[in-house]
Amino acid sequence: MASEELLAFLAKTSFFGGLTPEVVATVAAMLKEKRIAAGELLFCEGDDSKSMYIVHQGALIFKRHCHDGTQARLLMMRPGDFFGVTSLIEMERRPFSCAAEKDSVLYELTNLDLYKLYKTDPKTYLLVYQNIARELCRRLRKAGERIAALEEALHVTTHKPPPP
């Protein structure tokens, strides 16, 4: 059973946003704590993916290999952030590497955990799945905004008008 402190923390994350304390407790009981030391890799680009993580403490950085052999720093994850939700839906390889910038404490939920929830508590499963879908929509919208801003910047620097 998860501690009251952990339940209060989880309830404040967008992954658990709008869910009842009972639903948070049900899913929290499935989470596995994972400690990662600063500099340690959580996973590498191309690894199999079967779980998502919620950052409780610390900071992690996503990196991706570039064609010129360098690594691009993509995104920093801090307490309350979560990542890897697509692993719960599709079992594709990791599109980037993830390493701890600071000593970190994460909570892991696997696709098998989510499947067990589906089999044992379909209502809770549906509520969690709705939050996953909402988060993916938010991220897709942000990605679209970033692409539009990059395209605009490209057109400004090349002095070409944007396409119609």
**Which residues lie below 8 Å from residue 70, measured CB to CB, with a gap of 6+?**
none
List of domains in the chain: 4-158 (2.60.120.10)
Q: Which tens digit of pLDDT belongs to each residue from 4-38?
A: 999 999 999 989 988 899 989 999 999 999 999 99
- Measured CA to CA, the distance from residue 23 to residue 104 in angstroms comes to 25
Contacts of 13 (CB under 8 A, 6+ apart): 54, 80, 81, 82
For residue 116, what are the contacts with CB-CB under 8 A and spacing of at least 6?
30
What are the two backbone dihedrals, phi and then psi, of residue 132, each rounded to the nearest 5 degrees?
-65, -45
Residue 56 has pLDDT above 70, yes or no: yes
Compute φ and ψ for 52, nearest 5 degrees.
Answer: -115, 165
**What pLDDT, on a 0 to 100 scale, did the predictor assign at position 154?**
82
pTM above 0.75, yes or no: yes
